[in-house]
Structure 1
Amino acid sequence: MNKSRKTSAVLFACIFVILGMWMMLSVYCQAAETNKDEKQPQTIRVGSFEDTFNYVGKNGVRQGYGYELMQALAGYTGWKFEYVKCDWSNCFDKLENGEIDIMGDISYTDERAQKMLFPEEPMGEEKYILYADLSNLDIGTYDFKFMDGKRVGVLMDTEPEIMLTEWENKNGIHTEHVNVNNDDDVEKKLANHEIDCFVSLEESLWSEQGISSVTTIGKSGIYFAINKERSDIKTELDYAMRQLEQDSPFFKADLYKKYFTLAYNQSLTGEEKLWLEEHGSIRIGFLNNDPAIFSMDEETGKLNGMLAEYISYAKDCLGNQRLKFGIQEYDDYNEMLRALQDHEIDMIFYVGRNPDLAEKKGYTLTNTAWTYSLMAVTDEKYFNENEAYSVAVVKEHEALKQHIAFSYPHWKLIDCDSLADATDMVLHQKADCFLMGTSQALKYDNNRDFKSIPLTKTMEACFAVRGGEGTLLSILNKTLKTMPSDMLTSTLAIYDSTADKVTFYDFVKDNMLAFFATAGFFGLSIIAIILVFLRKARKAEAAAKLAANDTQNV
């Protein structure tokens, strides 16, 4: 019996062990099958030209228009990348024989479409710029005849050369085309005086060679090109590009601004230098009612404000010419505008971006000099800037009026003498709001039931020049292009936050209830303390008299 039980126990143990091993193997096989079925990130071999589209910088960081775009698309495809260095002499061969799977910055042609795949949408648009030395006086921008006989560096047998030829034919120009393979080749041939000018993408490095952009000769859509046998890559890429466009409609536009519209060193053309030599100093008119724009330290005589900062930077910002400026202050905007039209000044510092008003008044706007974020100070319970409101504006603040008239045409402007008057107008329901810069408006939050509401439409400040003064307009725009990004915007924030100092009277006026409550509390406290001391003094005096009487009785 015991022997039978032992046999059964051993049998059950064996069965249990076998079942356990079978279960473990089943789980392992299922896991392996599941992992096998899961889509593994595939590695895509990318052709890298080491140019603006895909390159490794001096600090070892890979960047470029095409690189960042590909990384964004990989968020949808899950791709990983292997970068294969190539250039125009072998990139197409490597793509066709499968050494690389994809490359960017390729123009579409029917001939290429027979040998490679193109996505449905372009990866972007590229402009081809003609660069040349514009420092000579005989070189202008209206007539391109100076290009006759020049040696132009261009990548031969490509779309840029076709565009160059078409541009030359259009302008009746004949040049000698010299083949250049890449940026390094361009720099070498420039240094050896083998070329006088060249065609390239919109980049900043050429100004360091004393070269400036002459004109745009053409532009075209550019694509990713895919190995003919990798239709799977095309399918995934088409999907990813559609999703990116839907999720981030301006992604490619922002990338273009980042890599191709860079702030580069500006230089004057011969025509512009001649204008300055004949004209002399650029005369600037400005209104003297805003210390953030212009003020003078009475003790030191030092000029402060944005106008002083602009002149200090602009006078030396163009490498081949020092600019001279003269300033003239005005109390009245219309008087300053008449002075502009009468040639007493050359430009106004500053006006709001309002093209309609500029056309009616006969002046032209420069590029945006700075931007100004505004807030509406109001006691309205609900405030929606898309609705109609009456806004109190200091009557001398013409640029602000111009901005409101253009950006908020449904608002009604009400003139006032000062910000204090604007405040009273809102308090007494004569206006719904008034506008201030962000740095100043916050002090009104929760003060007298005021609140500050950020506006979505930023004010753009420009310089104004007479209509038809194209040369001066170009010079001023070059000073703004070479200026560090947001320099004047940051400068305004600094001066604007310190220009309006709060006096004791302003503090009392803005905090009337709290001030008198606090003053009353301290007054009553002092009176109470005095009464306590008087009471103690009287008790002491009574005690002293009592003690004196007791002494006399003794």
Structure 2
Amino acid sequence: MKKNEKVVEAFELAPAGIVSQVYPYKSNEEVVGMNMLELAERKTETKLAKKSGKYTIAGPYELKQGGKGVLLFDPIYVDDGPEKKFWGFSILVLNWNNFLQEANVKKLNDASYHYNVWKENKDGEKSIIMSCAHKNLKDTLSVSYTVPNDLWHFEIVPFDGWIPMYYKLGGFVLCVLITYLITVVYWQSKTKRLKEEMYAKKIAESAKKAQEANEAKTKFLFNMSHDIRTPMNAIIGYSNLLEDNLDDKDKALNYISKIKSSNSVLLSLINYILEMATIEGSKMSLKEENEDLNDLIDSIIDVARPHIQKKHLHFTYEPHFQQAKIICDKTRFREVILNILINAIKYTPEGGSVYFKVDEYEKQQEDHVTYCFTIEDTGIGMKKDYLPHIFEVFSRERTSTESKVPGVGLGLPIVKSIVDMMKGTIHVESELNIGTTFKVDLTFPIYNAVTAIENKEEKNILNFKGKHILLVEDNELNAEIGMEILKTFDLDIDLASNGKECLTVLENKPEKYYDVILMDVQMPVMNGYEATKAIRQLNNGNATIPIIAMTANAFEEDRQVAFKAGMNEHIAKPIDVEKLFAVLSKYLNQ
């Protein structure tokens, strides 16, 4: 038996009977959109397949994509509660001529036999499936055999008729053998169909995932558009009101406070989106820093306290741990706990309760400590059927319009990703209108407290007077904001509008005149990376001036590119004044 690779012409998927996918697509694209349940030549067999739930053969037909073929309809049913629901068909298309050639049926002519294969149509009449050129055969030997959901009849007679009895017996054997050959070809085709079906299943799964991803992104864009426009509307509105009430100090301060609050919401939304992109690009890494858990928790509660007081919530914190000296990425750790804590506050109505507890497990690893962080609230809670989706990207049980809480559904996916990176676990329990409980288990190395500085030194009041800063910024508005911020630090500031101008300014000043250079990245003429590389190649003291990237390129890979170019620090825009002050203190206090 030859390989039947050319017998299988195509494999099709037809949800609700309408062909939506075909493999291979090339040369078969015309069949996409055909409704098999309505097409005159197909509907009898397809409706039989749908009704019986059995694999059904149909044809041969003239195919829409050209040539003649047989269609094998496999009805697919899916679970729909207690009953099965019709989904559609998987369809195997066989090339009829290749099928006959594979079965060697036409070689009956070479052996001096006439043949005829037929079946009954829906009207009970004989419908010829295949035959030799000779019509109206008489005294035929007939064998009936079952094909998927149908009955075919095979007739055979020698050219010269049946003479000796053994000849007729031999013809019967030959007829059975031909039937067997056709059956074998059918089963070979069905085996290949199963392989194609597995491939189609993967296609369908990929299509489903793509559809779900598109739906999630559409929902995300809808939510993001709303949630970003909300603080933007407040910023624009209060800016206009501020302009009209500059003489009323109390009103002006109130409007400024609300603008700052809206700025914070808008920035947090943007940061979430950027951070999720970093995580999905597998570019996030964890730092190893010596920390005190008590200090970390205190800093988290300090951030959350104004929100707690604003909603008049009952807040309880219970520390149950002895070991506090740990090695961790404090930024990521704070992000995990603070995100969950702020969510608990946001979704708890006024007068409700938020409970925060830290337990230390018995030592499981030498030089390591494991904690359980529990955050429990009496908030609005969640439905049970939503909990499996709580860590999915862009997932929200309620939009911000319904819950009155801004967000695009990225906070908890980020939390889950960081916890996974820390090789920890996170578990959530919730009941609608009762509240929610999060439990996060994290393990950290213990650092040697003896070699650590136990007592915090009180920071000296820094004096930047007389220090020179070169600000390199091409955007006039950003330059103006930067200059005004730096003036509050009592610094002497010069401005350059691009990298080339920065080099010119340095050339016209004494060596090491500037104590720090604040460098934008994306600029005309010469960008910040090129300017930094050029400065580092100078043969004078300017080559060692600390250069701080101050840019809207906020991804982790942007930080790495900045460091690779020779920059000392990276500060993302919009500028956090406290962070800028801390970084300047590091270099101006040396």
With the shorter chain as reference, the TM-score category is under 0.3
The one of the two structures with greater contact order (alpha-carbon pairs below 8 A, sep at least 6) is 1
Using the size of structure 2 for normalisation, the TM-score is 0.26
